[in-house]
Amino acid sequence: MQSAVLVVLVALVSCTIGLPNVRRFSIDEKKPVQLKSWKFTNCLPTSKEVMIADPVTFGPDPLVFPGPLSVAFTVNFTADVDSPLKTSVYLGKKVGSSWVKVPCIGQIGSCTYDDLCDILSTIGECPGPFSDNGVPCMCPFKKGSYTLPTSNFDVESAIFPPGDYHGQANLTMGATVVGCYNVLATFG
């Protein structure tokens, strides 16, 4: 059920390690942005997901960007996950009483990635805490359970300007649904 948080955390960590094909930018590094609240849900019953993360924890509380981010999780892959891993992401920002779709610019926003595995392969090396604990960060993801004990990362920039956001990620591998996750978050 907490797989959505894992997707968001992978995105945050990816931004800090500098994927070459993803544009890095900041909103205003002089003004920290705080994650005030968040909620996640699965779009699918857990029995239909291939990637199940539980539990997922992160801190400190409150989270402030830029700043430190501590992460711990256990993820269970009920089957091997490999390329092509198509990922469709919707990102919306609330304006008044309506949700406005954030366009895909520089591979950030409401984007479709034909193969997330290709993007992950540009990392080069998994962050130390991942490799030290045998947690894969690149495809293929072999069937099994992986645990990342509490690990610390520095998020170098404020990724979202203040406001309410809705994100949904749909991951598929051919005809197999790997996962579908919703996240609602308020930054201020």
Which domain CATH number covers 7?
A: 2.70.220.10
Q: Which two tokens stand for residue 125?
A: 């090396």
d(CA 133, CA 131): 5
Q: What is the pLDDT of residue 155?
A: 87
Query: What pTM value is reported for the model?
Result: 0.77
In this structure, which amino acid lies at residue 82? Answer: D
Tell me which of 38 and 27 has the higher pLDDT. 38
Confidence grade of residue 17 (pLDDT, cut at 50, 70, 90): very low
Instruction: Give me the helices (H) in 71-169, please.
Output: 116-121, 128-132
Average pLDDT over residues 8-32: 46
Structural domain span for residue 112: 3-187
Q: What is the mean pLDDT of residues 56-63?
A: 84
Q: What is the pLDDT of residue 52?
A: 83
In 3D, which of 43, 63, 11, 67 has the Cα closest to residue 172?
A: 43
Determine which of 82-86, 94-98, 139-143, 153-157 has the lowest per-residue pLDDT on average: 153-157
Read off the DSSP letter of residue 109: S
Number of domains in the chain: 1
% of the chain beyond a pLDDT of 70: 84
What are the C-alpha distances in Å from 28 to residues 99, 101, 145, 153, 157? 23, 22, 38, 20, 8
* CA–CA separation, 47 and 122 (whole Å): 31
**CA dist list (Å): 121 to 31, 156, 171:** 33, 22, 17
pLDDT level of residue 112 (50, 70, 90 thresholds)? very high
Please report the pLDDT score of residue 21 as a whole number.
Answer: 47
Q: What is the mean pLDDT of residues 136-157?
A: 94
